[in-house]
Amino acid sequence: RKEVEQDPGPFNVPEGATVAFNCTYSNSASQSFFWYRQDCRKEPKLLMSVYSSGNEDGRFTAQLNRASQYISLLIRDSKLSDSATYLCVAGEYGNKLVFGAGTILRVKS
């Protein structure tokens, strides 16, 4: 079983749609959580950190449920430029990051 599991997709959505990605992690000792974005053939880049209280950055909202070991990302009003692979990440002791395999999002006009 993978330590961080995500639905690989692809999620094909029209512009303006709201889309949600889910992720589960198996290590209950994980201390930090992130969503990274990776464009095709490019390096991953931090999209946002995820906090227990939930956090929002513009059209993006991230949620963490430690009891269920579940992380989510909600994207509202999808743009063509949101098309990418979204990586769910759990951080362990010493800033070791464990990456999910990623969820592919394709936003179409």
For residue 53, state whether it binds other proteins (rule: CB under 8 A).
Answer: no
Bond prior to 44 in cis (omega within 30° of 0):
no
For residue 80, state whether it binds other proteins (rule: CB under 8 A).
Answer: no
Part in contact with other proteins (CB under 8 A); list of ranges 11-19, 26-34, 52-60, 63-71: 26-34
Q: How far is the C-alpha of 94 from the C-alpha of 92, rounded, in Å?
A: 6
Q: How far apart are the first and last CA of the chain?
A: 37
Part in contact with other proteins (CB under 8 A); list of ranges 9-17, 35-43, 57-65, 68-76: 35-43
Q: Measured from the CB atom, is 78 or 105 closer to other proteins?
A: 105
Beta pairing partners, 74 = 20, 61
Strands 60-65, 55-57: pairing is antiparallel
Q: In this structure, how many other beta carbons lie within 10 angstroms of the beta carbon of residue 84?
A: 21
Q: What is the smallest separation between the CB atom of 39 and other proteins, expressed in angstroms?
A: 11
For residue 84, state whether it binds other proteins (rule: CB under 8 A).
Answer: no
Enumerate binding residues for other proteins (CB under 8 A). Answer: 2, 4, 8, 31-32, 34, 41-46, 49, 87, 91, 93-102
